[in-house]
Amino acid sequence: MHVIIIGAGIIGLTTAWQLLQDGHRVTVIERNPRVGEGTSFANGAQLSYSYVAPMASKSVLGSLPKWLFSAGSPVRYIPSADPGEWAWLLRFLADCNDARAAASTAKLLALAALSRTRLHAMIEATGIEFHHARNGKLVIQSTRESQDAAETQMRLQAAMGSTQTALTAAECIALEPGLESVAHRLVGGIHTPDEEVGDCHALCAGLHATLEATGTTFLLGTEGRLAMNGQRVTAVDTPGGTIEADLYILASGVAGRAMGQQAGLSVPILPIRGYSISAPVIASNRAPVRSITDTARKTVYAPLGNRLRAAGFAEIGGHDSRHLTARAEALHADLQAIFPGACANTDLQPWAGLRPATPSGVPVIGPTRVSNLMLNLGQGALGFTLACGSAALLADLIAGRRPSINAADYRG
Ligand SMILES: Cc1cc2nc3c(=O)[nH]c(=O)nc-3n(C[C@H](O)[C@H](O)[C@H](O)COP(=O)(O)OP(=O)(O)OC[C@H]3O[C@@H](n4cnc5c(N)ncnc54)[C@H](O)[C@@H]3O)c2cc1C
């Protein structure tokens, strides 16, 4: 079968890889001149298989006033007149309760577990180098309240198979001596020993090379648009001509909502902007060995080869590039405060990207009412983590195999 995938981020590329394993002929259409240059470019680098708590939770409701009115908050909401955004927010608010958050967590954990297995198989088959390491993750807390909430989430996830340990402040510093500088505000942490990191963009580039060498066609620098005839996609229109296939897959990240509309579908995806900086490590004894998430600052740190990446912020609305310098400076200040002397102050690589978020945090994977159109969208803050599982689930559905997880959980 000939399959066209629109989007060459981590979701489109892992989907192409899985479909190639099933013997399909695959064409990938990407509007950027190179792969992995959308949201998959410089994300937080976490393969966060056990730490999947969705953003929609009861605690969010109490934080809303702070997000609306504080310019310095790491989470920021600037309202717009877009009715799609309001519909998304209403669904998000409806998901902000314990029962829905627990259900979403269970779905995300199942997809994450499948992702881990499939990523490892893909690495073994391809040998792609992307600074992949199983170095564990430590999530640090600065208030008793947040440590208690984290322990509650840990117990919920333990019942679903995650192995995590609650640590005291002293135990956190014993594990990561670089954290001594924030000892005064450390209350405790959650340690997950088998979490992983990797460079998502390097994995995208490696997949591109592997896929191209094994027969996948890439149309880069090519914007695609769905051509429809009733409830069927007839082709993808591009500036270079029309391309037909048996099956079409949207893996177009934050453009998924607009592309879905071309087929008459309403896909609830909102862009949530985040930022990162990657700084050269100059004193490895002061840098973390593990991924660190600083809950108070909502910032994650990941060692990637000879760099340390800091990522954070969640902004809904007001999307423009004006904030990049200020946000990058804030991330750099946080990095210097938590790991003083670990990194150089020059050659910093700032970046901003848009998380393709669904209200519940659970992605939309599978068939649609358009008979030859499938979706692999909305992995949000966890797209790198969930990519291989999402691709495997979709490949199973296309092949008519029974997936190892419940496909109905990801139908949107
Ligand atoms: C600051 C930040 C930190 C993050 N940290 C992590 C993390 O630590 N761990 C994790 O798991 N996830 C993380 N994420 C989320 C993760 O990066 C995303 O979920 C993931 O990259 C989404 O991949 P994607 O392939 O869906 O989207 P993209 O990478 O954006 O790819 C979609 C592609 O589709 C193309 N496209 C769109 N429309 C068209 C069209 N009409 N024609 C042709 N091409 C088109 C785009 O150009 C783009 O290249 C983070 C995100 C951000 C912003």
CB 260: neighbour CB atoms within 10 A? 24
Are residues 154 and 91 part of one domain?
yes
Atom of ligand 1 minimally distant from the CA of 254: 30
Are residues 340 and 327 part of one domain?
yes
- Print the domain residue range for 14: 2-41+202-268+361-410
Are residues 138 and 59 part of one domain?
yes
Whether the CB-CB separation of 195 and 46 falls below 8 Å is answered with yes
Rg (CA), the chain: 21
pLDDT in tens, the chain (412 residues): 999 999 999 999 999 999 999 999 999 999 999 999 999 999 999 999 988 878 888 877 777 777 766 766 777 787 788 888 999 999 999 999 989 998 999 999 999 999 999 999 999 999 999 999 999 999 999 999 999 989 998 998 888 788 899 999 999 999 999 999 999 999 999 999 999 999 999 999 999 999 999 999 999 999 999 999 999 999 999 999 999 999 999 999 999 999 999 999 999 999 999 999 999 999 999 999 999 999 998 899 999 999 999 999 999 886 666 788 889 999 999 999 999 999 999 999 999 999 999 999 999 999 999 999 999 999 999 999 999 999 999 999 999 999 999 999 999 8
Are residues 240 and 162 part of one domain?
no
Question: In DSSP terms, which residues pair with 274 in a beta bridge?
Answer: 353
CA 346–ligand 1 middle distance (angstroms): 27
Which of 329, 357, 385 lies at the terminal end of a domain, its last residue? 357
Angstrom CA distances, 7 to 11, 20, 89, 220, 252, stand at 8, 16, 26, 10, 4
Q: How far apart are CA 9 and CA 252, in angstroms?
A: 8
pLDDT at 320: 65
Are residues 66 and 29 part of one domain?
no
With the most atoms of ligand 1 within 8 angstroms of its CB, the residue from 75, 249, 272, 384 to mutate is: 384
Amino acid at the residue 99: A
CA dihedral 350, 252, 56, 164 (to 10 degrees): -70
**pTM of the prediction?**
0.96
* Three-state DSSP class for residue 375: strand
pLDDT at 81: 83
Q: Considering its fold, how many domains does the chain have in total?
A: 2
109, part of any domain: no
pLDDT at 159: 84
* Three-state DSSP class for residue 402: coil
Closest Cα to residue 293, out of 307, 317, 309, 304?
309
Instruction: Provide the edge-to-edge strand list for the sheet that holds 225-229.
Output: 225-229, 232-238, 241-243
Whether the CB-CB separation of 190 and 164 falls below 8 Å is answered with yes
Backbone angles phi, psi at 7, to 5 degrees: 120, 120
Atom of ligand 1 minimally distant from the CA of 376: 26
pLDDT at 64: 74
Q: Which residue is closest in CA terms to ligand 1's atom 37?
A: 252
Q: Which residue is closest in CA terms to ligand 1's atom 44?
A: 30
107, part of any domain: no
Are residues 54 and 33 part of one domain?
no
pLDDT at 253: 98
pLDDT at 76: 79
406, part of any domain: yes
- Largest CA-CA distance found in the chain, in angstroms, rounded: 64
Angstrom CA distances, 116 to 241, 276, 285, 345, 364, stand at 38, 24, 29, 34, 19
CA 253–ligand 1 middle distance (angstroms): 5
Atom of ligand 1 minimally distant from the CA of 275: 1
CATH number at residue 179: 3.30.9.10
With the most atoms of ligand 1 within 8 angstroms of its CB, the residue from 248, 252, 319, 394 to mutate is: 252
Give Cβ neighbours of residue 303 (< 8 Å, ≥ 6 apart). 133, 135, 197, 281, 287, 288, 289, 290, 291, 309
CA 186–ligand 1 middle distance (angstroms): 33
Closest Cα to residue 30, out of 271, 212, 188?
212
With the most atoms of ligand 1 within 8 angstroms of its CB, the residue from 4, 6, 39, 111 to mutate is: 39
124, part of any domain: no
340, part of any domain: yes
Which of 315, 332, 357 lies at the terminal end of a domain, its last residue? 357
CATH number at residue 255: 3.50.50.60
CB 49: neighbour CB atoms within 10 A? 26
Are residues 221 and 93 part of one domain?
no
Ligand 1 contacts (CB < 6 A) are 6-12, 29-32, 37-40, 43-46, 48, 223-224, 251-253, 255, 259, 274-276, 300, 311, 353, 355-356, 379-385
Are residues 213 and 192 part of one domain?
no
Give Cβ neighbours of residue 278 (< 8 Å, ≥ 6 apart). 42, 304, 307, 308, 309, 348, 349, 351
Question: In DSSP terms, which residues pair with 47 in a beta bridge?
Answer: 196
115, part of any domain: no
Are residues 23 and 139 part of one domain?
no
104, part of any domain: no
Are residues 348 and 297 part of one domain?
yes
Are residues 136 and 13 part of one domain?
no
Strand boundaries in 317-396, DSSP class E: 349-357, 364-367, 373-377
pLDDT at 69: 66
- Tokens for 151, please give them: 């322990």
CA 334–ligand 1 middle distance (angstroms): 25
Are residues 279 and 263 part of one domain?
no
106, part of any domain: no
pLDDT at 319: 62
Q: How far apart are CA 57 and CA 75, in angstroms?
A: 14
Which of 357, 375, 390 lies at the terminal end of a domain, its last residue? 357
